[in-house]
Amino acid sequence: MAAWNEAQGNEIIQRHVGREGALLPLLHDIQDGFGHVPPEAVPAIAHALNLTRAEVHGVVTFYHDFRDRPAGRHVLKLCRAEACQSMHSEALAQQVLSHFGVDWGGTTPDGRITIEATYCLGLCASGPAAMLDGQPMGRLTPESIPEIAREVGR
């Protein structure tokens, strides 16, 4: 995705100024436009919405959907909620992380995939569950890992 561009960022920000509850939709739009919420965006957002930089930064770091650096070409979100944990998702997650050689929130050196934790995809009856590039995947097993690798290798 694009590096921070002040003009483009300000255009996105201005679409939300004066809107009630603007921060979350604005952050989503910034991330959609840049692939992440660049640290350079935080002061501009804070100023436009009359918030402190700490308030904006706190929201960016609190919500798992926001990232402060670009993600890989593919994003795999692994569910870590209780229903998936009861189906051994933690052991599977460690196998996935090991397979790709990254930690939570990490991106492979070639930029192919970013692996993120999420806390419920609503697929509780199909756990362990994940989402690859917005597409849900359920009933994952260790045998699912090569399938995921093939998908992200394309």
Residue 86 Cα to chain centre, angstroms: 24
Q: Give residue-wise pLDDT tens across range 26-62.
A: 999 999 999 999 999 999 999 999 999 999 999 999 9
Helix axes 23-34, 6-14, angle to 10 degrees: 150
Q: Rounded to whole angstroms, how far apart are CA atoms 130 and 124?
A: 11
Spell out where 32-112 has E strands. 74-79
Domains and CATH numbers, the chain: 6-62 (no CATH), 74-153 (3.40.30.10)
CB 105 within 8 A of CB 68: no
The average pLDDT across 138-151 equals 96
pLDDT above 70 as % of the chain? 98
Instruction: Compute the average pLDDT of residues 1-23.
Output: 92
Whether residue 154 has pLDDT greater than 70: no
- Residue range 52-79: mean pLDDT, rounded: 94
Q: What is the pLDDT of residues 111-127, one digit of tens each?
A: 999 999 999 999 999 99
Region of residue 152 (phi > 0: left; psi between -120 and 50: alpha; otherwise: beta): alpha
pLDDT at 65: 85
Q: What pLDDT is recorded for position 135?
A: 96
Average pLDDT, the chain: 95
Model's pTM, two decimal places? Answer: 0.82
User: Tokens in use for 152?
Assistant: 């992200």
Q: Give 122-152 as a DSSP string.
A: S-GGG-S-EEETTEEE-S--TTHHHHHHHHH
